[in-house]
Structure 1
Amino acid sequence: MLGSLAALAALAIIGDRPSLLTVVAWIDYETLALLFGMMILVAIFSETGFFDYCAVKAYQLSRGRVWPMIIILCLIAAILSAFLDNVTTMMLFTPVTIRLCEVLNLDPRHVLIAEVIFTNIGGAATAVGDPPNVIIVSNQDLRKNGIDFAAFTGYMFLGICLVLLFSFPFLRMLYWNKKLYNKEPIEIVELKHEILVWRQTAQRINPASREETAVKCLLMQKVLNLESLLRKKLRTFQRQISQEDKNWENNIQELQKKHRITDKILLVKCITVLGTVIFMFFLNSFVPGIHLDLGWIAILGALWLLVLADIQDFEIILHRVEWATLLFFAALFVLMEALAQLQLIDYIGAQTALLIKAVPEEQRLAVAIILVMWVSALASSLIDNIPFTATMIPVLLNLSQDADVNLPVKPLIFALAMGACLGGNGTLIGASANVVCAGIAEQHGYGFSFMEFFRLGFPMMLLTCTMGMCYLLATHVGLGWNT
């Protein structure tokens, strides 16, 4: 919002101040409606307990073996993220993953990092899996160039399947020397975790009254008592390395009591509506006579599910809508249009065009794909990929319309989408899902640092982007899928 205000102030200074009606017209309401509708659908979906059920099912299928469980969890996270928002997927998946790891006496940090990496990869597969993809398919100029929901999803889904095929073996290689099991017995691990959580709770209290001071003192006394108990247990227990879980059948029964599908009828309703909405997204691409935009389809789907689910308290659902994200998108559209009015986007496009024109014409498309892909990936590792994508779309459109450059727009947009989504795995701040997962893990006493994520995320980003680049070059340069 501050950025959009600064851009509008700059326009006012140069004597080109837009009216309020003009500024409001710059906002892409279809994108906001699509995001809002999908947020309502996911908010109701989360009431069913489906995410908890998926995590426990992964444990059951793996029969207590660690690596099969991690791979199944990552695969489920990737599939769910392709159709639901990846931030929501991690919000619902993180707590139950931590509980599973506690049962197996595993360190949850490594499992959570693997999950969030595959959430970002899976989110790239469809037009609604990741916010940059939503911006791309909602752009009217790109639709005129044939990049609609079906074309985008079909192309990206094939590429992400190829990326996933190579990602699982590489993840296993990265984790080869990682100590996934905790060294101490599970009783000691749980006690240490309890001490950490109580201490964090006490530290968050800033005493402003006598009562708050008394509560803080009580909490610190509890911490001291638990630390004394821990010292006794450390003297009693000998250090032992946990082996594969032998009591997985008993654990399954306990977990299934706590983490199960809470409302099967609501689950059937949610899957029916979500399936219909996705089907309509595809149908909209093939049958232009429907006259329903993606935003309207999502809104109508959300209203239909609200009626079917018989929601009595609508305010609870509205509280789960990410209003800050919607406001962020609205301000972003104003900022991008203001920057376009200030000729900044034209300048970036002109400089990129000069760089590409320096390359011989027969190699121009390959160089452009590689350049857009890796610039997008590295930029998205350091800054949020949403504003970057919004900035690059008009730049790439201008580039494709330049007669001297003579490049098709489709491969450039697909390279942007692939780089922006996969590049989010490069660092902890590269994608919203990473930050959300780290925050929830911290609340449970299992926070991981920037460097811990970087050591696993950055190599995965390099591999997935390399595979994505090979797919783009093979299809657009080798096979000529440019029309």
Structure 2
Amino acid sequence: MIAVVVFVIAYVLIATEWTHKLLAALGGAALLLALGVTDSEHAFYSHDTGIDWDVIFLLLGMMIIVGVLRRTGIFEYIAIWAAKRAKGSPLRVMILLTLITAVASAFLDNVTTVLLIAPVTLLVCDRLGINPVPFLIAEVFASNIGGAATLIGDPPNIIIASRSGLTFNDFLIHMTPLVVIELVVFTLVLPRLFRGSFTVEADKVENVLRLNEREAIQDTRLLIKCGVVLLAVFTGFVGHAVFHVAPSVVALLGAGVLVLTSGVSTKDYMSSVEWQTLLFFAGLFIMVGALVKTGVIGDLARQVGNATDGRPLLAVMLILVVSAVLSGIVDNIPYVATMSPVVLELTKSVTDPSHAHALWWALAAGADFGGNATAVGASANVVVIGIALRAGHPISFWEFTRKGVVITAITIVVAAPYLWLRYFVLA
């Protein structure tokens, strides 16, 4: 009861933002440790009931790599290149920037991607003399959709992979095809979703066409080093099952090599490390671990299993829809951290491996796509809204939500038949 009460209070504080989410997570974890509900052995050393250090260090390594990569100017180059290739057409600019955001989010993580793409979007929209808000919102949607494609693209995927034992290749094989389909549908929906946002004056178009993307590259030698290291890191991600090296170790090795060879100051690359996010994860893992340790998660899994009457397809669809709804109401990171042990228990009662996998993919799709529903559904949403506010282009909760609910509904409607066909009809 203590574990449940502390977790629910912390969850409400995180969802309502009555206090900073880091304070809620660490405060809840500290309270559980102080009351003896869990202890240091379970909190710090147990894979099942404690902090998942693989997740923490994978994020840390990638944050450092991106911190070095940021110094090259490659992201600004790509955005300006896309705007020029679009010939200044606002609709084509939006499509290109969203596709770039989606692809980059699959390999860098969506929060990092929007942090780098959003300021450039503001620059391009300023030159075109158009409202950047629809473009920023569209990029957030694309980042949450694209981030679902890989293990490292969205933090919920990292948690799912850690709990399920699924590999980087598993996400590529199972989630990437779904994401490609979703992006095609998303691109077709954009003109109607943001109707009236694509009017631009001819002289403004000329301003964009005069931008020189080559001037954005600040350090060519560093860019080459980053390219080599990133290629090696992604090779390690793809082949980690063959090399027997965990993705977290691969990311840390890549970060170490870049730090040693780049010459970038400690202040420059460490400023990209989101310590609050890492500590938030740590507190969250401890609270969820206490629920596992006390048997709450096992009981919840049995209740879900009874509700679906042992029917895997019903369980998959229920997880997909519920995950989408709840991830829109609260941040999808704490939701997945809570739900993944439940899904793990459910998979133990499923005999068909393809059906068991479908439960995990339903959780990933529902949480990742559901994060688009509201302004607080995913970390990337909060980041972009903050950037827009500082730039003098505030995005209201309801302005975001009106569009987000539509995109979430469309992506879930597309995901449902994909899961049914691939894992129940064609398996």
Q: Same fold (TM over 0.5)?
A: yes
Q: 1:331 to 1:259 in 2, by over 3 A?
A: farther
1:353/1:405 contact within 8 Å kept: no
> Corresponding residue for 2:63?
39
Q: Measure the CA separation in 2 of the matches of 1:67 and 1:388.
A: 34
Q: Measure the CA separation in 1 of the matches of 2:39 and 2:391.
A: 49
> Corresponding residue for 1:226?
none
The alignment status of 1:151 with 2:170, answered yes or no, reads yes
Q: Which runs of 5+ in 2 are unaligned?
A: 1-25
> Corresponding residue for 1:23?
43
> Corresponding residue for 1:452?
399
Q: 1:472 to 1:398 in 2, by over 3 A?
A: same
Counterpart residue type for residue 263 of structure 2? D
Other structure's SS at 2:92 match: helix
Q: Measure the CA separation in 2 of the matches of 1:164 and 1:332.
A: 31
Q: Measure the CA separation in 2 of the matches of 1:22 and 1:370.
A: 33
2:328/2:373 contact within 8 Å kept: yes
> Corresponding residue for 2:216?
260
Instruction: Provide, for residues 444-483 of structure 1, a one-character-per-residue CA deviation record: whole Å limited to 9, x for no partner.
Output: 1001101111111110111011111221111011111xxx
Taking the TM superposition and a 5 Å limit, the aligned residue runs for 1:330-479 are: 330-357=282-309, 364-402=311-349, 408-479=355-426
Q: Measure the CA separation in 2 of the matches of 1:472 and 1:98.
A: 37
When the two structures are aligned, how many residues end up with a matched partner? 398
Q: Measure the CA separation in 1 of the matches of 2:289 and 2:71.
A: 38
Counterpart residue type for residue 248 of structure 1? V
Other structure's SS at 2:190 match: helix
Other structure's SS at 2:224 match: helix
Aligned counterpart in structure 1 of residue 269 of structure 2, from 307, 311, 317 = 317
> Corresponding residue for 2:80?
56
Q: Measure the CA separation in 1 of the matches of 2:306 and 2:390.
A: 49
Other structure's SS at 1:127 match: coil
Q: Measure the CA separation in 2 of the matches of 1:405 and 1:3.
A: 38
Aligned counterpart in structure 2 of residue 270 of structure 1, from 226, 240, 259 = 226
Shift of 1:9: 5.0
Shift of 1:257: 7.2
Shift of 1:366: 2.0
CA RMSD of aligned residues (A): 2.0
Shift of 1:7: 3.5
The alignment status of 1:97 with 2:87, answered yes or no, reads no
Instruction: Provide, for residues 270-323 of structure 1, a one-character-per-residue CA deviation record: whole Å limited to 9, x for no partner.
Output: 1221121111111113x1xx3321111110011111122123x21332222111
1:346/1:398 contact within 8 Å kept: yes
Instruction: Provide, for residues 306-351 of structure 1, a one-character-per-residue CA deviation record: whole Å limited to 9, x for no partner.
Output: 122123x213322221111111111111111101122221221121
Other structure's SS at 1:448 match: coil
1:52/1:259 contact within 8 Å kept: no
Taking the TM superposition and a 5 Å limit, the aligned residue runs for 1:116-131 are: 116-131=140-155
Instruction: Provide, for residues 95-116 of structure 1, a one-character-per-residue CA deviation record: whole Å limited to 9, x for no partner.
Output: 1111111111111111111111
Q: Measure the CA separation in 2 of the matches of 1:70 and 1:406.
A: 40
Shift of 1:18: 4.2
- What percent of counterpart residues are identical? 38
Q: Measure the CA separation in 2 of the matches of 1:157 and 1:257.
A: 30
Shift of 1:27: 1.7
1:425/1:461 contact within 8 Å kept: yes
Q: 1:5 to 1:247 in 2, by over 3 A?
A: closer
Q: Measure the CA separation in 2 of the matches of 1:180 and 1:407.
A: 44
Q: Which runs of 5+ in 1 are unaligned?
A: 182-241
> Corresponding residue for 1:248?
205
> Corresponding residue for 1:77?
101
Shift of 1:407: 8.6
Q: Measure the CA separation in 2 of the matches of 1:462 and 1:99.
A: 31
The alignment status of 1:66 with 2:83, answered yes or no, reads no
Shift of 1:404: 9.7
Other structure's SS at 1:429 match: coil
Q: Measure the CA separation in 2 of the matches of 1:340 and 1:250.
A: 58
TM-score, scaled to structure 1: 0.79
Larger Rg: 1
Counterpart residue type for residue 286 of structure 2? V
The alignment status of 1:162 with 2:115, answered yes or no, reads no
Shift of 1:179: 4.1
1:377/1:424 contact within 8 Å kept: yes
Counterpart residue type for residue 133 of structure 2? R
Instruction: Provide, for residues 402-429 of structure 1, a one-character-per-residue CA deviation record: whole Å limited to 9, x for no partner.
Output: 3799994210001000111010100011
Q: Measure the CA separation in 2 of the matches of 1:163 and 1:18.
A: 42
> Corresponding residue for 1:301?
254
Shift of 1:169: 0.9
Other structure's SS at 2:308 match: helix
Q: 1:332 to 1:247 in 2, by over 3 A?
A: closer
2:355/2:424 contact within 8 Å kept: no
Other structure's SS at 1:415 match: helix
